[in-house]
Amino acid sequence: MQDFEYVAPTTLEEAVRLLDGNGLKVKALAGGTDILVQLRANRFQVDRLVDIKGIPELNQLSCSEADGLTLGAAVPCYRVYEDERIARLYPALVDATSLIGSIQVQSRGTVGGNLCNAAPSGDSIPALIILGATCEIAGPKGRRTVQVERFCTGPGRNVLEPGEMLVSLKLPLPKANSGAHFLRFTPRKEMDIAVVGVGASVLLDDARQRILSARIALGAVAPTPLLAREAGDLLAGREASEAAIEEAAKAARAAARPITDIRGTARQRTHLVGVLTKRALGTAIARAKEGKKP
């Protein structure tokens, strides 16, 4: 690890100016649970780290039945899963944030950082995708919004241009009769990286028998976390039955493009996509049925 400049701006404008390094290698620092490890391992070098934790807007966490959830990019995971409103409205986000790394990592690491790190296995990303999150981005040219499933562009790469930063994530209020779940498979119960992660959300009809719409997202089986659109779409209009779930799982397996590496073989990952999709859908449907009647 080489020396680098550390700066801690307190306004968005200042941060944007510092992040646009004019040829310098600059990265934003939130919890640091990925970036500090990567720097020590000489994965890459930086000339400047811009600590964004001092910017008020990035620490915002607001959740209401009126506006849904706004999650500042510097909010650590523990604030997400310890929030009772989030636990009630977005349990799938709690599923994901409570299994990233370890308790120590969750105390520091942020959902925004997990997304910006753009690991194919990033645990929060499939959960954000199935919940329809959008990314609020600030940069030298002003603000823009990107759907979360379009944010990652490859392993460790995302859509942020030089000088741009993630400000917050916005999650729409879940509809009545909806439910969602994220789960992953790891050899260990904690301190591990997903071999496969799967998130699923469903919207049921008022009788809670038929699926009106569904989203399925896959982690660690492609260069980026993946929205398996066909797998979700084929459930629309179907009874919430085992046969339908089985078909969706099959479509999810077909959507996966896994590789073989030290954490698992492509074959094992494809198999696990099927297993986890069924389990994720099962729990998502159960949660949709448990919810308060509208």
Binding site for another protein (CB under 8 A): 1-3, 41, 102, 185, 187-193, 195, 262-265, 268, 271-272, 275
Q: Least distance (Å) from another protein to the CB of residue 275?
A: 4
Q: Least distance (Å) from another protein to the CB of residue 114?
A: 15
Token pair belonging to 99:
């299994």
Q: In the complex with another protein, which residue's Cβ is closer, 4 or 78?
A: 4
Q: In the complex with another protein, which residue's Cβ is closer, 51 or 192?
A: 192
Q: In the complex with another protein, which residue's Cβ is closer, 178 or 283?
A: 283
Q: Least distance (Å) from another protein to the CB of residue 39?
A: 11
Q: Least distance (Å) from another protein to the CB of residue 282?
A: 12
Q: Least distance (Å) from another protein to the CB of residue 189?
A: 4
Q: In the complex with another protein, which residue's Cβ is closer, 103 or 286?
A: 103
Q: In the complex with another protein, which residue's Cβ is closer, 213 or 268?
A: 268
Q: In the complex with another protein, which residue's Cβ is closer, 102 or 147?
A: 102
> Strand ranges (DSSP E) for the chain?
5-7, 26-29, 48-51, 61-64, 68-72, 134-139, 142-147, 152-154, 157-158, 165-171, 178-185, 196-204, 211-219, 226-227
SS3 87: helix
Q: In the complex with another protein, which residue's Cβ is closer, 85 or 267?
A: 267
Angle at which helices 266-290 and 242-255 cross, to 10°: 140
User: Cα separations (Å) of 76 from 85, 221, 255, 285?
Assistant: 16, 26, 31, 28
Contacts of 118 (CB under 8 A, 6+ apart): 151, 152, 153, 154, 155, 156, 157, 158, 224
Q: Least distance (Å) from another protein to the CB of residue 268?
A: 5
CA-based angle 243:175:218, to the nearest 5? 50
Q: Least distance (Å) from another protein to the CB of residue 248?
A: 16
CA 264 to chain centre: 21
CA distance 8 to 15: 8
CA distance 13 to 58: 12
Would strands 5-7 and 48-51 be described as parallel, antiparallel, or unpaired? parallel
